[in-house]
Amino acid sequence: MTIALQVEVPIACFRQSRAREYAETYPVPPPSTVYGMLLSMVGETNRYQHCGIQLALGLLSQPQKSRVIRTFRRFKKKDIHDPTNARPDYQELLTDIQFIVWIATGNDKAKPTLTERIQQAFLNPQAVDRFGGLCLGESRDLVNAVTLLPPDYTGQSLSWIVQDENGWLTLPYWVDHLGSRGTRWQNYRLLEPSQQWQPPDLAWTVIQSD
């Protein structure tokens, strides 16, 4: 089963895995971040539940990058209110993020699959047991709209994110939240905008932990 969603996010930061004091952002939403948003949509808290699904991402907009200064918390002292735990640092932000995500069941062995759960969430949203706002990335980066597209939909041009072992864009498709050892990356490149609505073969990324 394959479905497509259009996602709109006014502002977000997809913090680079290796960023430290200066919080750089990836220029596009990483597959791991989009997968987390999809799990949140259906109220799934176990990120291993739907390993094996495949995602393909195509940009509808070219997000604009800006820089802000904000307070970051790093717990160096046990007292959470200790002033040394907070310090100002720069962070990059992206604005006007619009993209299409295609979701294929792939090797998702859960019953129901993630694609089936997403469809049901649109058909019967009151049955979804979830908490918090729907975000893409940080908890403050709220999603403005998610639209389930009909199978025969054709829209404006897309810039597909495709796998390329020599690509300039390295994105995580699985993140180890307890360290970096288990994080998995893939090299990509961004294609020029085109009217190709169906994902090219190299646009598909398998979400898996190993």
Q: How far apart are the first and last CA of the chain?
A: 23
pLDDT confidence of 96, banded at 50, 70, 90? Answer: very high
| H or E element that contains 91 | strand 86-104
**Candidate from 14-23, 70-79, 200-209 with smallest mean pLDDT:** 70-79
Taking 60 as the threshold, does the pLDDT of residue 75 lie above it? no
Domains of the chain: 2-61+96-206 (3.30.70.2660)
Q: Which residue's entry shows tokens 């294609």? A: 191
**Residue 200 DSSP one-character state:** P
- What's residue 160's pLDDT? 97
How many Å apart are CA 190 and CA 166, to the nearest integer? Answer: 12
Q: pLDDT tens-digit profile of 162-184?
A: 999 999 999 999 987 665 677 89
**Percentage of residues in the chain having pLDDT higher than 90:** 69
User: Which of these ranges, 59-63, 99-103, 136-140, 202-206, has the smallest mean pLDDT?
Assistant: 136-140
pTM of the model: 0.89
Q: What is the pLDDT of residues 97-117, one digit of tens each?
A: 999 999 999 999 999 999 999
- Mean pLDDT along residues 173-198: 86
